[in-house]
Amino acid sequence: MTTFCSTSLCPLLLASDTACDRPDAHGSQYNDSKMFLVWINEEGHLRVLCMQKGGNTKEVFTRFHNGLTQTETLFKSTN
């Protein structure tokens, strides 16, 4: 997984005075093909996206399942 967004605060959040309620541990990750993305503590606790062009839902679901399994393993290993 590659880091998409660092832990720096967005100027929009600072201007709207919501940055103080934002968790310190947040960021976004994506896979090499940029078809599976995970946002952690951005606007919600966890947001997961899995997508691709075309109509192969089995392939998308398999990627989604594998990505969630890897994310869960990572979370459990780091407490």
CA neighbor of 31 nearest in space, from 16, 6, 54, 48:
48
Q: Is 33 a residue whose pLDDT tops 60?
A: yes
Binding-site residues: 47
* Residue that the structure tokens 């201007």 belong to: 15
Q: How far is CA 21 from the centre of its chain?
A: 19
Binding-site residues for ATP: 47
pLDDT at 58: 97
Read off the pLDDT band of 25 (50, 70, 90). low
Q: DSSP state, 34? A: S
22: exposed, middle or buried (Cβ count in 10 Å: 0-12, 13-18, 19+): middle
Domain spanning 2-77: CATH 3.30.590.10:
yes
Domain ranges of the chain: 2-77
At 32, the amino acid letter reads D
Is the pTM higher than 0.95?
no
Q: Is 6 a residue whose pLDDT tops 50?
A: no
pLDDT at 9: 57
